[in-house]
Structure 1
Amino acid sequence: MKEIEYPIKGACQCGNVTYQLLEPPAMIVACHCKACQKLSTSAFSITAMVHADSVQFKGKMSEWSRVADSGNISIAKFCPCCGNRLYHFNPSEPEKIKLKISNLSDTRIIRPTAHIWVAEKQDWYKIPEGIKVFDKQP
């Protein structure tokens, strides 16, 4: 398999918001919480934990926020045209971004190293062996 080269380009569904991921993520998680199931319209959502300086965005984004189960604020950034989510962040830790990497041009990096909120996992989905598993937020 060809080595992954950075930067990797990404974009929302309509292409009005684009970005470049400049370096590999610190970690990639599959979140099975009910909020992520709604977000992804699937069994889980894939998120890459990256440093804010390792991503360059272009285009206008809107935001929406909610209080997470931890009590922290989760702000979602998304394209106002197509509604595609690009990332989430906690305003108390703006240097950390939870990037929604399914919209990268090269998705070979999507290999979750952990599955979180498996207490809310769909029964039919089987987590691969050898992956870290957390009932809730680690």
Structure 2
Amino acid sequence: MRGACRCGQVNYQVKSQPLYSGYCHCHACQKRNSAPCVSLFLIQKSQIDISGNTATYHGKGGSGKDLIEHRCDSCGDALYSDITVLDNVIVCLASTLDDPADFKPEGHLWVSSRDPRFDINDDLEQQAGPPMQMMPYLAK
């Protein structure tokens, strides 16, 4: 899988299958992206090559733990985040993929904070909080 920002200054190539792919409904994602949810995938840092310059913003993720957001320092597109609650894992926004068909969602996260005006009309798994599949990657 490959992806980039709109201006093409920041590019990435994913070298393996994501650890998890889905839709996040947490308040942090809603505010960061001005949307009721975002499509994302989680990947080990060693399994993605990123080139280009990013600007960072330090905030909190849905877990309340530190989150470092990376945006293209030219066009401003959000691309990925370092989430300190997980060890050596980053979250990439699937909207930056070159081929949207590469995004294969497994479920919905943080549905406990879902925008009540947004209906979920698919059969994907729904989790009230973070993806339980990521428990082995919790930072020590």
TM-score (norm 2): 0.82
Number of residue equivalences: 131
* 1:133 aligns to 2:126 (yes or no): yes
Matching residue of 1:82: 75
Which amino acid in the other structure matches residue 88 of structure 1? Answer: S
TM-score (norm 1): 0.83
- Structure 1 range deviating more: 99-108 or 35-44: 35-44
CA distance in 2, matches of 1:91, 1:136: 16
CA distance in 1, matches of 2:108, 2:86: 22
Structure 1: give runs of 5+ residues left out of the alignment.
Answer: 1-7
CA distance in 2, matches of 1:125, 1:71: 23
Matching residue of 1:108: 101
Which amino acid in the other structure matches residue 68 of structure 2? Answer: I
Which one of the candidate residues 3, 23, 32 is aligned to 1:10?
3
- Secondary structure of the residue aligned to 1:66 is strand
Which one of the candidate residues 14, 23, 41 is aligned to 1:21?
14
CA deviation string 1:62-108 (max 9, x = no partner): 11111335342111111111111111112464521111121111111
- Structure 1 range deviating more: 108-117 or 78-87: 108-117
- Secondary structure of the residue aligned to 2:29 is helix
Q: Percent identity?
A: 27
Deviation at residue 37 of structure 1 after TM alignment: 1.5
Decide whether aligned partners of structure 1 residues 35 and 71 sit closer, same or farther in structure 2, where only a CA change above 3 A counts. closer
Which amino acid in the other structure matches residue 63 of structure 2? Answer: S
CA distance in 1, matches of 2:70, 2:87: 13
Which amino acid in the other structure matches residue 67 of structure 1? Answer: K
- Structure 1 range deviating more: 91-100 or 69-78: 91-100
CA distance in 2, matches of 1:123, 1:80: 33
Contact kept in structure 1, 2:56 and 2:68, CA below 8 Å: yes
Looking at secondary structure, tell me which structure has more helix per residue: 2
CA distance in 1, matches of 2:17, 2:91: 13
